[in-house]
Amino acid sequence: MNKLCRQLSIESPLIDGQECVFSFDVPVPEVPPKGARIRVVCAGACYHPRPSVSLSRLHGTSIEGDLPEALAHHGMRNAALFPGYEVSGIVESLGSEISSECEFVIGDRVIMYPYEGLPNGYVEYLVVHDLKYLIKLPDIMPLSVAAMLPAGALLAMNTVFAAHEHVQNLFRERNDTSMCKILIVGTGGLALWALRIAAYHFTNMKDRVTITIASLKDDGFTMAQEFQLANVVQWSEDLYEKQLIERTMDACDGHVDVVIDFGTTSRSLHRSMQCLSKGGIVFVMKEVANRLLPKFSRRAEEFQQNIKSIETGSLEQLRELVQLVGSGEIEPPPHTIYPAEEAFDVVQKLCHSEIHGRAILRFYPTE
């Protein structure tokens, strides 16, 4: 009889009071002949998206797949809680057909690229069938930091790379002294990664690129001020939309060229597009684009703006990210470590943006 291990599944917390964290026992998986079994130590507090539903049935809205403000937790609007799969751990076993020339040995500290076919939840023992998806970690990198990289940091990096390409195209079209303005919406985990990666990636253009953070919460405002790489504008929800747009335009000194919006609501996207220049581009997560593009595509076409869906980056980008964070060239956002048994409470705190930076779930105390 197979030994059992724990699986922790987190689904998107769509409605207050609806259970979204599930823990149960599953058999410890067999080691693939050409793969490895990983003992998971840390996992980023991300959720697995639920199957799409018609929210007209939930909330009386006529927009299929839109997310009503009343159902969108603050932490999801602020990108403190987002979809993904992030684990770091130790190589516990290698497959019987692995050659002696393999770069991995039992005991190596690794992260795994989130490829198709992963379980819907975090399991204490995770198998990978192809070792190419494993990345060995620098000795100085804590597993808690490493667990932030495969989803949040990688998505932010891919978004910044796409923004960088757009900025380069703008500079080719404009004169040599023109400025490019970027607005990053939110101070949750995704936005904080994007800010740090953008600050590094645009180093050679820092005299021609300005970055502004739209903070959705007072403590987020303080956090952004602590990180002296950007202007900050407060998006207070008690203000009218016109006031918020005017406030943002003042902070950015006019319309912006690029918006990186990790929010999840139509209100956030509408506001972002109001602050965007003609020919500008808004980058949003794929999950958000699937819901909101049908509603906003006509407006984007009318104002000659573009809404681009961004997915998780590549395996090569993740390898580069490990090196940049490991060498200290990119500083990770702050994070707090919680026992995996407290996952439900952690998700509730993230829903209300009560955790400073990222939340990491620990399965085994190895450090």
pLDDT in tens, 278-330: 989 999 988 788 888 888 888 888 889 999 999 889 999 999 999 999 999 99
Q: What is the pTM of this model?
A: 0.88
Has residue 156 got a pLDDT over 50?
A: yes
At which residue do the structure tokens 């504008």 appear?
233
| H/E segment holding residue 267 | helix 266-274
Q: CB–CB of 252/213 below 8 Å?
A: no
pLDDT in tens, 226-277: 556 678 888 887 888 899 999 999 999 999 999 998 876 788 888 999 999 9
Terminal alpha carbon distance of the chain:
32
Structure tokens at 187: 């101070």
Q: Which domains does the chain have, with CATH numbers?
A: 4-150+314-362 (3.90.180.10), 152-310 (3.40.50.720)
Q: What's the burial of 156, exposed, middle or buried (CB within 10 Å: 0-12/13-18/19+)?
A: buried
Q: CB–CB of 255/222 below 8 Å?
A: no
